[in-house]
Structure 1
Amino acid sequence: MKYYQSQWGLSYAILQDPEAVARLLRTYSQTRHLSAVKHFHAQLLRSLRHVGNYVNNHLLLSYEKCGCLDYAQKLFDNMPQRNLVSWTAMITAFSRRCLLANAVAAFSEMRHVGERPNEFAFSSVIQAATRDVGFGRQVHCLALKSGFGNELFVGSNLADMYSKSACIHDACKIFEEMPYKDHVSWTSMIDGYAKHGYFKNALSGFKRMLLDGVVIDSYVLSSAISASASMKACTFGRCVHCFTLKLGFEEETAVGNALVDMYSKVNDMESAARVFRGVSSRMNVVSYTSLIDGYVESDQIEKALDTFVELTRKGMVPNEFTFSSLVKACANQAALEQGLQLHAQVVKMNFVADPIVSSALVYMYGKCGLIDFSAQLFHCIVNPSDYAWNSLMSGFSHNGLGKEVVKTFETMIQRCIKPNAITFVNLIMGCSHAGLVEAGLNYFNSMESRYGVAPSAEHYSCVIDLLSRAGKLREADDFINRMPFEPDCFGWCSYLNACRIQGDKARAEFAAEKLMRLEPENSSAHVMLSSIYAKERQWEDVRSLRKMMKDGNLKKLPGYSWVDVGNKTHVFGAHDWSHPQQVQIYKKLDSLIDEIKRMGYKPERDVIHIDTDDSTKEKMLQYHSEKIAVAFAVMSLPSWKPIIIKKNLRICIDCHSAIKLMAKAVGRSIIVRDNSRFHHFADGYCSCNDFW
């Protein structure tokens, strides 16, 4: 401050020297010392009769650089004479603040008074036109007429304007026609490609930039890394990372964020965490959110939550993307307790009205089986996006409420919300779970003709599931034969499961062969085929399949069920499990089995696919993991709290029958989420109406 105070008492000789005045003003501008600029301006007005354009232009630039646009505009309006520099400085000031109307007005007035714009004036007004590409095209035409089409600044800003307006082909044409390209024009072009989904072009551009020896900065590195992440081009991304290390840009926050995001998207969480920890002092909420999202996508929910806790402890404020990722993680794991806590945080931090977060909450409650909560939250959203509608439909679909899925879809169309591919997956699966075959087929057949959505392999597999689940195996055969490509694993698995239920051995063997070819390491085809042979008491075929599995080093996926009590997840298996309350749990289960037997429960012994006596089969059935989990939940959870059991496999018909009666016996609702859908058990009934 002493330096500037000593400068304010300036001699008359200095005030009369335009070059000396300009040097001082540049010094004040560089340090953003607005009060010094104002004081100096006042001295000039008091001491001089006339302040020339040269000094006024420097004052104009100083006010603009100090962020005082009002003073700059007042000075400009009161200038007795304005030259090209004055006009260009004012247009630049408006452009930097995205004031398109003001920049356009100044540019038009400049031309009206007869001042011909130069390349810098064109560049500035083009920068302002990024939000109005129509006006930008007019300026482009004028620049060509004025002979500035090949100027570097004009060309770079035109390419940038077109790319930011999603006119990538126009941007590319401008860029290729530029006789000289600097690092700014290259960066603008690569960034435009990356942001609008032209990832391959972005990476090709980055390669050309390296070959041409253009200077590389942190911005272009971030764009190249982001494009690698979007393409899941891990090898290329690692090469760019090496290049980043050589240039010393890894500690730049933007580059670090891009690297964390890239490694997260290619599911290399070890590398993502290493980059993050290496520059954690410079990481921001974007970095933390990228890491959290990576953990969520790789089903590492505990690490995602730990990272969130670390973020809050460092005093950072989570954003809407942070919360949506965490809520999605709770949805995927049906982790209701953590989801409820996150919901409270969302309300506390006033994110509940955010469309991304609110849609994620709708999805989470639906995936946790609390579909009433999901619908209630959805109806609180003012203008639901397609993501919100899809989240609600997904919840209804997984909970077997097919009619509600159809009703929601029809309401969505009435509200003029355009459905997408995910919408039709939810819609057809909702029809499948509810047995609405005709409705599901009608929607599939009208996808492209009426709604403009081309069916993908996933949609075809949903139709196979729709027909197979309804027992229409002949219709499923005809549909598969008419498909433009082979069904995927989900399609064949749905078909095979239907063959198992229907006891159709010939079709099951055909489907199992197809599934084994697609996924030779998956044991589900062998297990389902074995169950058909066991039902027919073809024990030799059962033993042959088991030998095939042993020779191929395939193991049957063990069934597990788990339930959240307090802040802990309790996991149970049919045999391999331990628990401090194991004796009490078995005692409770035995009493429940005795009670439901008095109510008419009869064990479904055919579920056990081994050659043994009936009493052994009944004992094995009694200790299925979901029954153990129900017994533990009944004795551990208060009566007002919902019992939510999660299972990694499809619930068997015996457990389904038993839990219906258990729910009636204890007078409570029991929700079971298996690997296919939700079952809501209450008063001796299930929401699936025994159709699953």
Structure 2
Amino acid sequence: MTMTQKLSKLVGLDLLSGSSPTPQNLTRIISFCAKSASFDVGSAIHAIVIKLGFCSNVYICSALVDVYGKCGKSWNAQKVFDETPHRNVVTWNSLISGYLQAGSPLRATRLFLDMLRVGTEPPTTFSFSGVLVCCAQLEAEELGAQVHGLSLKMGLFDDVVVGTGLIDMYSKCCKVRESWRVFNQMRDKNVVTWTSMVTGCAQSGQSDEAMTLVREMLRLGLKPNYVTYNSLLSSFARMDFWDCCRQIHCRIVKEGFDSNVYIVVTLLTLYSESNSSLEDFRALCSCVSVWDQISWNAVIAGFCNIGSSEEALKCFSEMRQAGVAVDFFTFTSILRAAGTLSALLEGKKIHALIFKSGHASNLCVQNGLVSMYGRCGAIHDAKWVFTLMKDHDVVSWNSLLSGYAHHGFGKETVELFEQMRRTEVKPNNTTFLIVLTACSHVGLLDKGLEYFNLMRNDDLPEPPKVEHYATVVDLFGRAGNLHEAEAFINSMPIKPGASVYKALLSACQVHGNRELALHSATKLQQLCPNDPATYILLSNVLLTRGSWDDAAGVRKLMYDRGIRKTPGYSWI
């Protein structure tokens, strides 16, 4: 069927017979093109409009602006808009919507302000909805508040569309209290309104409030949609809320959303980050119905998070065989898998693919390459990639520092850290942990203490954590200063964790200090009564002092309590 025949069928007239479509028919067919994003058909209709002399018809011109905007042709939409002699609010709204869809919220906002200045017609709820989306994307809270005031002035305080837009805007601008105020003042709320409020709570870390809102929705007979559940899941994306995530998952299955592509991807991310079993994660992978780039990325990243790097590499190979395009998210995850496995050959192949696919200049990918080479022991390659990088952030420096420290280059780690301090990149807690560990492993006690004091006195967003204190205890212990280590623990401003006492107990094993070992073991049993490492370390300390009977008694106590040590294994 030719284009003319298709148009004739849609318009309802025989264009070949010479009959002319009416403006109403043309508006109807252009609106159809806008809904189906049919640019070719819309352009052909535009030619007919010009030929028939309907270029001044405001309804046809508004429909043309709309079709070009929905097809991503902002330049064409703007041209039709500029050539339209008389514009109504629909014409303005169509162009605003077009720029929003094209990812130009600033231009769309300026159009809204121009419409207000022209003042031909007052803005509609659709106008307010569009500009509020712009404010949300730009995080322009001050302008959004002004739009809020204008909507109140025009009597739209009860409009559900405007109210929902305001909730979303304030949430995106990190003003959740204002979102709550708008939400509580609204008399009519639909599912989208409730979902916007749930999303706002999720983004601000108000997990309990998000759950309460969903429960209230169910009580009122409103059925949450997949966006509601997706936001609710995101609000519980921490290991502390693993039970809540499983409860929400059960509800999702009951509602029939378990095969929704967005829900499945969110679940894959949550399960992989919440210490779920490999079997549970594999079962969840079987629920994926659409294997697109996003799904593959979630599965590959999930296997990396769980620790099954072999599965991640296998999935990457299957993704490539399926012809699905890879992006920098894919490369970041698969480089981590290669580094975890110390698979240098596979890592180099991935590096070659990165060059071939044009992602070599991406900072995240470059950081992944530095980390991968460092973990594989190819320190010179890691340094080479680092040197070729145009920009460095704290992750870049941490990746190279970790590579040096992991392979015993303590002095080189210190030199690199000093080089970092001369740059504008500010070290974070991870940086200091790497450097302190390196100092501990090579016996640089004074340097390690210097860096720890620097960390405490430096203007860091977070104070030293338990792992930093544990590393300093290890630093003292390796140097044989056990009493200094004990005094350091007693002076800690935070409660010592298990890692602190394990470091001290391990040092007691090396230096044979039975009394301090017993004290540390007692503290560890209080903190982690079912941890086999405590019993093993204490038993080894007693063995080094020749107390065979006491060591055997500790082992017997361990087995009597049903505590078993996980057997070690080696790649060799």
Band the TM-score falls in, shorter-chain normalisation: 0.7 to 0.9
Q: Sort the Cα spacing of 1:208 and 1:405 in 2 relative to 1 into closer, same or farther, 3 A.
A: farther
Q: CA deviation at 1:43?
A: 3.8
User: Residues 109 and 478 from structure 1, CA distance in 2 versus in 1: closer, same or farther, beyond 3 angstroms?
Assistant: same
User: 2:441 is matched with which residue: 433, 444, 457?
Assistant: 433
Distance in 1 (alpha carbons) for counterparts of 2:405 and 2:447? 14
Moved more, 137-146 or 376-385: 137-146
SS of the counterpart of 2:359? coil
Paired with 1:316 and 1:86, the residues of 2 have a C-alpha distance of 39
2:7 is the alignment partner of 1:4: yes
Question: Cα distance 1:141–1:414, how it changes in 2: closer, same or farther (>3 A)?
Answer: farther
2:66 aligned residue: 61
Deviation track 1:603-625 (CA, whole Å, cap 9, x = no partner) reads xxxxxxxxxxxxxxxxxxxxxxx
Distance 1:317 1:49 in 2: 45
| Partners of 2:207 and 2:236 within 8 A in 1 | yes
TM-score (norm 2): 0.87
1:123 and 2:129 correspond: yes
What is the one-letter code of the residue matched to 1:4? L
Question: Paired residue for 1:107?
Answer: 112
Distance 1:549 1:110, change over 3 A: closer
Higher CA-based Rg: 1
**Mapped pair 1:356 → 2:361:** no
For the pair 1:455 / 2:464, whether they are aligned, the reply is: yes
Contact 1:428 1:440 in 2 (8 A): yes
Alignment size in residue pairs: 561
Gaps of 5+ in 1: 563-570, 572-692
Cα deviation for residue 13 of structure 1 reads 8.6
How do residues 215-294 of structure 1 correspond to structure 2 at under 5 angstroms? 215-230=223-238, 233-266=241-274, 267-280=276-289, 282-294=290-302
1:454-512 per-residue CA deviation (whole Å, 9 max, x = no partner) reads 12222221221121121111111111111234422222122112222222221122222
Mapping for residues 80-95 of structure 1, pairs under 5 Å: 80-95=85-100
In the alignment, which residue of structure 1 is the partner of 2:76? 71
Give how far 1:534 is off.
Answer: 3.4
Q: Output the amino acid matched with 2:539.
A: S
Q: Does 1:175 align with 2:175?
A: no
Residues 357-396 of structure 1 show CA distances to partners (whole Å, capped at 9, x for unaligned) of: 3222322333333333322322222212211211222223
Instruction: Determine the C-alpha separation between the residues in 2 that align with 1:270 and 1:23.
Output: 54
Task: Say whether residues 1:541 and 2:550 are aligned partners.
Answer: yes
Q: Equivalent residue for 1:31?
A: 36
Q: Classify 1:9/1:406 alpha carbon distance in 2 versus 1 (closer, same or farther; 3 Å).
A: same
Q: Deviations over 1:52-71 (max 9, x none)?
A: 33343333333433444333
Amino acid in structure 1 at the alignment position of 2:213: G
Specify the alignment match of 1:628 in structure 2. none
Larger helix share, 1 or 2: 2
Contact 1:276 / 1:287 at 8 angstroms: preserved in 2?
Answer: no
Instruction: Read off the aligned partner of 1:494 and give its amino acid letter.
Output: A
Show the counterpart of 2:489: 480
Shift in alpha-carbon separation, 1:373–1:34, aligned structure 2, 3 A: closer
How far apart, in 2, do the equivalents of 1:230 and 1:543 lie?
A: 41
| Aligned partner letter, 2:195 | T
Deviations 1:177-219 (A, max 9, x none): 3332222233333334434544444434333333333342222
Q: Which moved more, 1:45-54 or 1:159-168?
A: 45-54
Structure 1 length normalisation: TM-score? 0.73
State how far apart, in whole Å, the 2-side matches of 1:515 and 1:49 are: 85
Give the strand-richer structure, 1 or 2: 1
Task: Specify the SS of the correspondent of 1:233.
Answer: helix
Q: Following TM superposition, by how much is the alpha carbon of 1:238 offset from its aligned partner in structure 2, in angstroms?
A: 3.1
Q: Determine the structure 1 residue equivalent to 2:519.
A: 510
Partner residue of 1:466 out of 458, 461, 475: 475
Are the aligned partners of 2:56 and 2:84 in contact in 1 as well (CA < 8 Å)? no
One-letter code aligned to 2:84: M
Q: Aligned partner of 1:435: which letter?
A: G
Secondary structure at 2:458 match in 1: helix
1:210 partner letter: L
* C-alpha contact 1:92 1:125 (8 A) present in aligned 2: no
Contact 1:229 1:263 in 2 (8 A): no
How many Å separate the matches in 2 of 1:360 and 1:515?
Answer: 37
Q: 3-state DSSP class of the match of 2:388?
A: coil
The one-character-per-residue Cα deviations of 1:618-640 (angstroms, maximum 9, x if unpaired) are: xxxxxxxxxxxxxxxxxxxxxxx
Query: Partner letter of residue 533 of structure 1?
Result: L
* Distance (whole Å) between structure 2 residues aligned to residue 245 and residue 96 of structure 1: 33
